[in-house]
């Protein structure tokens, strides 16, 4: 829980348009300049000799609690607008992930089955691989994934 930091946050920082700014100059912290830095796409802020993701601090300030996982709805880790943040479970957070960088089909959940010379659609549900069939056409395989993702993942489906 990050709620213990709320008094310190209010002392050091203010929020404007979902971005934290320093209230006063102290060392490298310059008054009215954005607080934090980017690391692996996340905005991080140092408070009380600890580093905290800005989205967790913002969510805590706004909702007065901090869930174990917070999902960025649009997948942009730096977009900390409160309407872009929602509580999630580990599995829900994973469902909203982007297409893997090693993907060669261009579509999430679609790959080439070289043994059958067809496009294969697949999805992972609760850490279990599930085949959605093989298709002559890549667009048919993509449609199979989209349909399954919407069915199994609901609002957390990333298409």
pTM of the full predicted structure?
0.83
Q: Which residues touch 100 (CB under 8 Å, ≥6 apart)? A: 108
- Per-domain residue ranges for the chain? 3-88, 99-156
Which CATH class name applies to 3-88? alpha beta
Q: Judge contact between 53 and 61, C-beta under 8 A.
A: no
Q: What is the pLDDT along the chain (159 residues), one digit of tens a residue?
A: 577 788 888 899 999 999 999 999 998 899 999 999 999 999 999 998 899 999 999 999 999 899 999 999 999 999 999 999 999 999 999 888 888 888 889 999 999 999 999 999 999 998 899 999 999 999 999 999 999 999 999 999 988
DSSP E strands, 41-139: 42-47, 50-53, 69-72, 85-88, 110-113, 118-125, 128-135
Structure tokens belonging to residue 16: 């404007």
Architecture in CATH of 99-156: 2-Layer Sandwich (3.30)
């Amino acid at each position: 829980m990050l709620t213990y930091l709320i008094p310190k946050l209010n002392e050091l920082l203010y929020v404007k348009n979902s971005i934290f700014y320093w209230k006063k100059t102290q060392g490298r912290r310059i008054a009215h300049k954005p607080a934090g830095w980017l690391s692996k796409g996340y905005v991080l802020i140092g408070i009380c000799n600890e580093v905290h993701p800005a989205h967790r601090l913002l969510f805590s300030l706004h909702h007065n609690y901090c869930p174990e996982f917070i999902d960025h709805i649009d997948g942009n880790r730096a977009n900390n607008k409160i309407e872009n943040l929602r509580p999630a479970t580990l599995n829900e957070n994973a469902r909203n992930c982007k297409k893997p960088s090693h993907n060669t089909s261009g579509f999430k959940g679609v790959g080439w089955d070289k043994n059958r010379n067809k496009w294969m659609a697949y999805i992972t549900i609760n850490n279990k691989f599930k085949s959605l069939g093989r298709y002559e056409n890549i667009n048919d395989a993509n449609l199979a994934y989209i349909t399954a993702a919407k069915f199994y993942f609901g609002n957390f489906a990333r298409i």
